[in-house]
Structure formats: C-alpha cells, structure tokens
C-alpha cells in the first residue's frame, strides 16, 4: 500500500493554493493537475502535489466544507540536521502568516525553543516547531489530529484503533496530561504513531473549540486491490449517510477516502472520454468497485 495522502477540499482555490504551497516549501512540486467534468459540484479541479516529499491532493468542489484546526500539519525544523533551521522556520512562518492568523503566537514554549500555530489565508493550519528528535527521526511534515468536543479524551483509543486497522504500525511518543484543567489527567497531551509509511500525530483538547473533524481534510488510503478496499471499508466506515464516492467516516468522525490506485492511473493517463466515463461510474458508487471502473474505462 502507498502512503496515506492528506486531501484538501477547497471552494475554488485548489490550483492557486497548491501553487502557493509548492512555492514556499522546500523540495516541493505539483505532480498532476486535471479537471473532473459533470460532478454534483460542476467542473472540479484536482491537483496532486508534494511538499517536502509529503504527498497531498486538493480539489476545488464548492463551498461545502470549511477548514478548521482539528487537523493541522506539524512542520519539523531540526537543528541537528539543518543548520539554518531557525531561519527557515521564521521564513516559512512569515509566508504562511500573509493573510492568515496565528492560533498560538510564535515564540518559546515549555516544549520547544520556537513554536507557532498558524492558520493560513486558505484556512489550513500549520504547527511550525524547532525540534531535535531523539531516536527515530520524524518527517518534515506530519498530519496532526486534535480530538475535541464529543471525542475529546479519545486520542489514545483512536490511535490504538488505527494501529490495529493498518497492518504495519507502531507507536512513537506518548505523553499524557498531568492535570492541566480543563484537560483531564491521563488524556493525551501528544502522541505520534506510524501507519504503514505515514507518521501521524494526535492530541486531546477539552477546551471548547466549536469544531471537530469534517470533510474539508480527509485521509486517502490508496488501495491496489478490491480486497484492500473491502477490508478498509469494513474496518472504518460507521456512518452510512457519509458513504459516497469512496468517502466514509469512522467512529471518531474522521473522514477517509478508500481509493483505487488503478482508478487514479486512469484519471491521470486516460483520454477525456475515458476520464468522463470513469467519473460517471465512480460518482454512482459508495464503495469503489474496481471491476466496474475498469469496465467503464475500457468501454468502446
């Protein structure tokens, strides 16, 4: 299985935002861009891109969902491997701050000499941190899940569940609150864990945030076989009304897309007619059926 891929849902700005992000992050590039026609949202731009080798996907599909900080992205600046870590962090902070708003001002905190949490001009949240990890290094970018409101206190349970679903998994750091109200003692201050080749972070927050996970940011699970699609669908999906076009919601409200790597190749390499047929076929599906997608692609 390939890496999990964070998916960003924009109103109309997928191409613009992807170009912006790839211009300010190191070792970044747009890898594919195309248009899906005749969807319920009209014509939709879809863009695949990499930021510091972390794959992302973005879509422009209308104002249905708004970004919030329940899912953010850690950006790890490690001075032990980058002598310019401090300057690079400050430069990226300034670029992400243009038109954005700080959620935690950049500065010194008990857990880092330099840290800041910023929501950029598109609404996507980034946690920039000066770090010096001991033991196994972490990637430059790590998606982070904040368990709030109805699922506050569930971060450890959820991460254990995800590690049970994905075959090749491991726990990294696990730190609990020690009684910092309103967070209950024993809930998760910070943890990170690896699913296949993808590191994720998680934390609990008992503060009243007024938001939780939604479809604005989802996690794509690229599957090579129908058996893989069936497996992840059965393990993760608990909200029948959220099942559409490969999307599902798990018991914690997190959105996933269980996709076919073959379908992605069809959309990237097909003729306009083939892409339109595949699009029409998958729009009618809840869980993807690879055989039917292939049939639509190969139709004469």
The number of distinct structural domains making up the chain is 2
Which of 162, 185, 204 is a domain's end point?
Answer: 204
The verdict on 105 and 43 lying in the same domain is: no
pLDDT, tens digit (0-9, with 9 covering 90-100), for 152-178: 999 999 999 999 999 899 999 999 998
Are residues 219 and 282 both part of a single domain?
yes
CA 224 to chain centre: 20
Which residues face 72 on adjacent strands?
125, 144
Name residues whose C-beta falls within 8 Å of residue 187's C-beta, 6 or more positions apart in sequence.
152, 153, 155, 156, 176, 177, 204, 206
- End-to-end CA, the chain: 31
Last residue of a domain, one of 175, 204, 233: 204
Summarised one tens digit per residue, pLDDT across range 213-272 is 999 999 999 999 999 999 999 999 999 999 999 999 999 999 999 999 999 899 888 888
Residue 299's pLDDT band, with cuts at 50, 70 and 90, is confident
The boundaries of the domain holding residue 143 are: 71-204
In a domain, 209, yes or no: no
Looking at the structure, do residues 39 and 107 belong to the same domain, yes or no? Answer: no
Share of the chain above pLDDT 90, in %: 86
- pLDDT tens digit sequence for 61-118: 999 999 999 999 999 999 999 999 999 999 999 999 999 999 999 999 998 999 999 9
Distance CA 234, CA 114 (A): 42
Please indicate, yes or no, whether residues 126 and 246 belong to a single structural domain of this protein. Answer: no
The last residue of one of the domains, among 155, 173, 204, is 204
User: In which band, very low, low, confident or very high, does the pLDDT at 1 lie, cut at 50, 70 and 90?
Assistant: low
pLDDT tier, 127 (very low <50, low <70, confident <90, very high otherwise)? very high
Structure tokens at 126: 């980034």
What CATH number has the domain bearing residue 270? 3.10.180.10
Is the entire prediction scored with pTM above 0.85?
yes
**Sign, Cα dihedral of 175, 178, 184, 186:** positive
Q: Give the total residue count for the chain.
A: 300
Domain check: are 78 and 192 in the same one?
Answer: yes
Q: Which helix (H) or strand (E) holds 96?
A: helix 85-97
Whether residue 3 has pLDDT greater than 90 = no
221 forms beta bridges with 258
Residue 118 lies in a domain: yes
Neighbouring-strand partners of residue 109: 112
> Which stretches of 40-154 are assigned E, i.e. beta strand?
42-51, 54-60, 71-77, 101-109, 112-119, 125-130, 141-147
50 and 81 assigned to the same domain:
no
CATH number reported for the structural domain that contains residue 85 in this entry: 3.30.720.110
182 plus 293 within the same structural domain: no
């Amino acid at each position: 299985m390939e890496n999990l891929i964070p998916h960003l849902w924009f109103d109309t700005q997928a191409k613009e935002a992807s170009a912006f992000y790839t211009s300010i992050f190191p070792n970044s590039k747009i890898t594919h861009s195309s248009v899906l026609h005749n969807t319920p949202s009209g014509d939709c731009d879809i863009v695949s891109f990499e930021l510091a080798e972390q794959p992302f996907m973005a879509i422009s599909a209308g104002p249905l969902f708004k970004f919030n900080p329940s899912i953010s992205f850690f950006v790890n600046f490690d001075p032990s491997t980058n002598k310019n870590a401090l300057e690079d962090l400050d430069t990226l902070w300034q670029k992400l701050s243009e038109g954005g708003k700080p959620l935690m001002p950049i500065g010194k905190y008990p857990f880092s000499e330099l840290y800041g949490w910023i929501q950029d001009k598109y609404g996507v949240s980034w946690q920039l941190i000066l770090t010096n990890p001991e033991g196994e290094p972490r990637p430059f970018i790590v998606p982070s899940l904040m368990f709030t409101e109805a699922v506050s206190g569930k971060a450890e349970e959820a991460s254990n569940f995800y590690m049970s679903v994905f075959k090749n998994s491991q726990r990294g750091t696990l730190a609990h609150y020690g009684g910092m109200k309103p967070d209950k003692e024993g809930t998760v201050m910070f943890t990170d864990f690896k699913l296949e080749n993808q590191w994720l972070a998680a934390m609990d927050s008992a503060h009243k945030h007024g938001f939780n996970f939604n479809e604005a940011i989802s996690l794509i699970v690229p599957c090579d076989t129908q058996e893989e699609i069936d497996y992840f669908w059965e393990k993760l999906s608990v909200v029948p009304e959220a099942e559409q076009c490969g999307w599902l919601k798990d018991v914690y409200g997190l959105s996933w897309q269980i996709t076919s790597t073959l379908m992605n190749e069809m959309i990237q390499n097909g003729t306009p007619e083939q892409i339109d047929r595949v699009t029409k076929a998958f729009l009618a599906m809840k869980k993807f059926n690879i055989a039917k997608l292939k049939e639509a692609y190969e139709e004469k």
